[in-house]
Amino acid sequence: MRFLQVDTLEDARQKLLDEAKAWLPATELLPLPQAAGRILAQDVYAANNSPHFRRSTVDGYAVIAKDVQGAGESIPSFLTVVGAVEMGKGADFAITSGQCAEIPTGGMLPQGADAVVMVEFCETFGDDEVAVYKAAAHGDHIIQIGDDMRAGALLLPKGKRLTPQDIGALAVAGAKNVSVFALPKIAFISTGDELIVPHYNPLEDGKIRESNTLSLAALAARHGYDVVQTLSVPDDQYTIKQAIKQAMEICDIVAVSGGSSQGKKDMTADIIQMVATPGVFTHGIAIKPGKPTILGHDETSRTLLVGLPGHPISAMTVFELLFGWLPPNLTGAAENFPIPAKLTTNVPGSDGKTTCCQCKLIFEDGAYTAHPIFSKSGLIATLVEASGYFLIDRGTEGLHKGDNVLVYLY
């Protein structure tokens, strides 16, 4: 085993990204209705102009602008109605000087017409004559061909997280299936002789309810992972090894949350070293909480292996800072928008470590304040108050009341 010195958060992220880039992420074709929220794996170009015909934006009469030049309330222009455009149909006739055609909103302009006059300014006479009481300029009330999008033009770039309006735009652009990055498959294995399934009763002495696989799975799903397995196993090297090996066969990432004892942590590193080649590439990260973190990889099965601390807050923090950070950096998607906020109290840093501080956001007087939540890493109940977290750089002694922080939301 290579014993490495503790990595900074930046170094660990970069190593993780480099390894992940070698195998991840795969892409998949999805029909539009399933692609919302997913990240485009290739540039998308419009397959057609939109609109692909000149559309009227009002109900009225398609005219030749020159014919109604100077028309007004007291001096109407009289035109002959030579047809009526039907919604959803081609306009299979043309108009020439002195002629016009009835047209609905969204209807196709007949050849020859170059403006539309709203019906409110027109008056019909007999079957085929209309008085137009308003002048129109060339192009009035018309959406020209390609005004929305041009055939062959870039509509959405690779790496775009698809919003609801993107899905609509893709439909208009004639897309059927889109290529998006596949969700990395992940398994969570929680280890510990003390763990029992959450709702098991009675709660015997020495036992605790296993919660890491549940909170980590929810966190992973939020960050765009496909959680394919969650498992709780006792502190037995053979059992843990078998569980990891099985998960490696079906997953891109296997995350093991250990107990909190020093001996046990070493066991996870040893096991990763046994099942994976080349194995561990990071052992210890300068973050607080979460220092005892292990990162490894196996080239044969193309799996990333992670040893997370066992304490709930530490495990979630490490997962968030590494694997919440990974997907946008792997796919080129924009990260979520962190929220600027003013600190309400002093917060100490941690010598040489990046500190992750949970906080509650409160909106007052048009701005946010961040109220730090201090808690022991073995506890979880205090975390239910947290809106998100901010980071304190490892070079910093701490932050002061009134300082600005950037809060990442849960």
Measured on CA atoms in the order 197, 268, 239, 277, is the torsion positive or negative?
Answer: positive
Q: Footprint of its own copies on residues 198-217 (CB under 8 A)?
A: 198-199, 201, 203-212, 214-217
The minimum distance between CB 160 and its own copies, in angstroms, equals 8
The DSSP bridge pattern shows strands 404-409 and 253-257 to be unpaired
Candidate ranges 132-140, 155-163, 273-281, 291-299; the one touching its own copies (CB under 8 A): 155-163
| Contact by Cβ (8 Å): 255, 189 | yes
Can you point out the beta strands (E) in 183-269? 185-191, 195-196, 208-209, 226-233, 253-257
Report the nearest approach of its own copies to the CB of residue 410 (Å).
5
Tokens 């590439």 correspond to 281
Dihedral angle sign, alpha carbons of residues 161, 165, 166, 171 = positive
Answer for which of 63, 316, 359, 399 binds its own copies (CB under 8 A) is 316
Q: Which of 98, 139, 340, 352 binds its own copies (CB under 8 A)?
A: 340
Q: Which amino acid is at 186?
A: I
Q: Candidates 18-26, 179-187, 276-284, 381-389 — which segment interacts with its own copies by CB under 8 A?
A: 381-389
Q: How far apart are CA 360 and CA 371, in angstroms?
A: 5
Tell me the C-alpha distance between 324 and 175, whole Å: 30
Compute the least distance from the CB of residue 333 to its own copies, in Å. 13
Closest approach, Cβ 198 to its own copies, in A, equals 4
Q: Residues in the chain, how many? A: 410
Residues 267-306 that bind its own copies (CB under 8 A): none
Binds its own copies (CB under 8 A): choice among 167, 247, 253, 356? 167
From residue 27 to residue 46, the character string flagging contacts with its own copies as x (rule: CB under 8 A) and all else as - is: -----xx--xx--------x
Identify which of 145, 143, 144, 146 has the alpha carbon closest to the alpha carbon of residue 46.
146
Structure tokens at 217: 């799975």
CB of 94 to its own copies, least distance (A): 13
Residue among 17, 30, 131, 380 that touches its own copies (CB under 8 A): 380
**Gyration radius of the chain over CA positions:** 32
Whole-number minimum distance, CB 41 to its own copies, in Å? 17
**Is 108 or 275 the residue whose CB approaches its own copies more closely?**
108
Site for its own copies in 182-201 (CB under 8 A): 192-195, 198-199, 201
The residue within the footprint of its own copies, chosen from 2, 74, 364, 381 (CB under 8 A), is 381
Region of 371 on the Ramachandran plot (φ > 0 left; ψ -120 to 50 alpha; else beta): beta
Cβ partners under 8 Å of residue 164, min gap 6: 36
- Residue 94 vs 409, nearer CB to its own copies: 409
Output phi, psi for 296, to 5 deg: -150, 175
Q: Which of 386, 391, 392, 399 binds its own copies (CB under 8 A)?
A: 386
* Least gap, CB of 273 to its own copies (angstroms): 22
Of the two residues 41 and 276, which places its CB atom closer to its own copies in the complex?
A: 41
140, 166, 252, 298: which one contacts its own copies (CB under 8 A)? 166
Among 25, 259, 292, 307, binds its own copies (CB under 8 A): 259
**What gap in Å lies between CA 328 and CA 410, rounded to an integer?**
16
Instruction: List the one residue from 3, 70, 126, 337 that touches its own copies (CB under 8 A).
Output: 337
Interface region with its own copies, contact rule CB under 8 A, candidates 4-12, 248-256, 297-305, 332-340: 332-340
Indicate whether 221 belongs to the interface with its own copies (CB under 8 A): yes
- Cis, peptide link before residue 25, omega less than 30° from 0: yes
Q: Please give the residues from 87 up to 106 whose contact with its own copies meets the rule CB under 8 A.
A: 87-91, 104-106
Q: Provide the b/e sequence for 6-18 (b: ≥16 CB within 10 Å).
A: bbebeebbebbee
Beta bridge partners of 156: 44
